[in-house]
Amino acid sequence: MADLIFYIFAAFTAGSALAVVLTKNTVAAALALLLCLVGVAGIFVLLDAFLLAALMVFVYAGAVVALFLFIVMLLDVQGGVRKPFKKATIVSSVFAFILLLLGLASFAHKGVQTTGDLGAAAPVGATLKSYGEQLFTTYLLPVQIVGFLLLIAMLGVIVLSKKFEGLEDIK
Amino acid sequence: MTVGLNEYLYLSAVLFAIGFFGVLLRKNTLVIYMCLELMLVASTVALVAFSRFNGTMDGNVFVFFILTVAAAEVAVGLAIIVALFRRRQTIQVEELNALKN
């Protein structure tokens, strides 16, 4: 049963990821990205990472996709004529796609030695307590660095989106 | 045939390759950015799968940091795209060729 659910979610995720790439409409691409992230959250649930699945839906599907849709609305990029893809672009990107896929798949195929049964290891990621323990002991310094990074990113966004009308030398 | 670590890694590889394909193929900067996010998400799938099958927490905690960095990255990147659109009135990559030649 769990296998069937995995394959359903995997096909759903890969299909909506392909839709992100292949659809012409930017809004449709953002919505396909939303579906893809929900599929990935389902995969996380199958891997017993419930907190990460919830975070995936909140942070990515909630904040990031909403931000993308907001920017699409702000920029209004649908107007104007758009040239179709060049044949050389299509051929070379499909070729690179196949090469990368084969490389990664052979990496996964040859590299994994274990039989990989889900019952073999205890589901350590299932409880909130283990996350808190790790984040506040082993990974305390990275947590603070990431917090500082968020502050810097916020300041950067404010500076980038501010119009410097009084300052001529900025331009 | 039960689903093991390999299947999750194949899924991660497929997602990463699709994201890479999109970055190469598409010309709209916003869609390229979405495909970059797709590649980040593919790497998180691999990390969570490794963590689950190894019985350690490190991969899961690392996904935390990837989520945080991705959120910061999206905010800054979209602000750059908006600033670029203000200056050049386009977000198609083939028209953004100021550094060419």
Residues of A in contact with B88 (CB under 8 A): none
Look at chain A and report how many structural domains it folds into. 2
The reply to whether B101 falls in a domain is: no
Average pLDDT over residues A83-109: 86
Rounded distance between C-alpha atoms, residue B6 and residue B15, angstroms: 14
Residues of B in contact with A133 (CB under 8 A): 57
Contact flag A40-B44 (C-beta cutoff 8 Å):
yes
| Predicted-complex ipTM score | 0.91
The reply to whether A114 falls in a domain is: no
| Among A77, A102, A118, residue at a domain's last position | A77
Average pLDDT over residues A120-138: 81
Residue of A nearest to B11 (CA): A10
For B10-54, the pLDDT digits (tens) are 999 999 999 999 999 988 899 999 999 999 999 999 999 988 888
The reply to whether A48 falls in a domain is: yes
Considering only CB atoms, A10 lies closest to which of B5, B11, B35, namely B11
The reply to whether B47 falls in a domain is: yes
A18: Cβ contacts below 8 Å, ≥ 6 apart: B18
How distant is the Cα of A148 from the closest Cα of chain B, in angstroms? 11
The reply to whether A83 falls in a domain is: no
A81: Cβ contacts below 8 Å, ≥ 6 apart: none
The reply to whether A118 falls in a domain is: no
The whole-number pLDDT of residue A171 equals: 47
B15: Cβ contacts below 8 Å, ≥ 6 apart: A13, A14, A17, A36, A40, B38, B39, B41, B42, B45
For A152-162, the pLDDT digits (tens) are 999 999 998 88
The reply to whether A36 falls in a domain is: yes
Rounded distance between C-alpha atoms, residue B8 and residue A118, angstroms: 11
| Among A37, A60, A77, residue at a domain's last position | A77
The CATH number for A48's domain is 1.20.120.1200
Residues of A in contact with B28 (CB under 8 A): 26, 77
| Among A38, A62, A77, residue at a domain's last position | A77
The reply to whether B29 falls in a domain is: yes
The CATH number for B48's domain is 1.10.287.3510
Domain that holds residue A12: 1-77
Task: Report yes or no: A107 and B46 within 8 Å, Cβ to Cβ.
Answer: no
Contact flag B33-A135 (C-beta cutoff 8 Å):
no
**Which has the higher per-residue pLDDT, B82 or A111?**
B82
Look at chain B and report how many structural domains it folds into. 1
Considering only CB atoms, B57 lies closest to which of A40, A96, A130, namely A130
Residue from A45, A71, A149 to probe the interface with B (highest B Cβ count within 10 Å): A71
Query: What's this model's pTM, rounded to 2 decimal places?
Result: 0.88
The reply to whether A168 falls in a domain is: no
- Pick the range with the lowest mean pLDDT from A44-53, A56-65, A77-86, B60-69: A77-86
How distant is the Cα of B46 from the closest Cα of chain A, in angstroms? 10
The reply to whether A11 falls in a domain is: yes
Residue of A nearest to B2 (CA): A3
